[in-house]
Amino acid sequence: MAFKEIQPQEMRDDVFTLIGKDWLVVCGEKDGRANAMTASWGGMGVLWGKPVVFIFIRPQRYTKEFVDAADGFTLSVLDESKRKTLNYLGTVSGRDEAKIEKAGLTPISNGGFTYFAEARLAIFCRKLYAQEMKETCFIVQEPAAKWYPERDYHTMYVAEIQKVLVRA
């Protein structure tokens, strides 16, 4: 099936469902290869006069190397029929196997960005800002204690939404 491009303001998905329930597939490219992972934390909005996304990646995730090496990344949204694929992408490392291929996804490369033919929505993002989260910056300690027992704090990425593709 084909995709059509829309403006970020034309997206009709509820961001809480899109990220927290549907999940995102974060994909970065490095040295002509792509790697992907699922994400269920993040957001969308307006910052610095631009439509943006913000995502969080833990330091040990292999996909982080790909996101760090590139100017940007994509966020693909798969429909509920791909829940097993999403779980797989979130639990297996691309360091250990060709997980995109094993997940049965069809990568589409577009100008240094990779998204997936199976996606219902693909968001192309250009990185604007990245910062490692720090324990000392938590105003309330409960999230730090609950989500970071190993103190492996995420890096937060803020990225401009440059292109949005929806399944036509």
Taking only the tens place, the pLDDT of each residue in 43-69 is 999 999 999 999 999 999 999 999 999
β-sheet bridge partners, residue 35? 28
Interatomic CA distance for residues 108 and 110, integer angstroms: 6
| C-alpha torsion 121→86→114→65, nearest 10 | 130
Res 1: pLDDT: 63
Least confident of 74-78, 107-111, 114-118: 107-111
With helix as H, strand as E and coil as C, how does 132-155 read? ECCHHHCCCCHHHHHHCCCCCCCE
Res 98: pLDDT: 93
The model's pTM: 0.95
Domains of the chain by residue range: 3-167
Closest CA to 105 of 39, 35, 162, 56: 35
Instruction: Give the N- to C-terminal CA distance of the chain in Å, as an integer.
Output: 7
Give yes or no for residue 72 having a pLDDT over 80: yes
Taking only the tens place, the pLDDT of each residue in 24-38 is 999 999 999 999 999
The fold of the 3-167 domain, in CATH, is: Pnp Oxidase; Chain A (2.30.110)
How sure is the predictor about 158, in pLDDT bands with cuts at 50, 70 and 90? very high
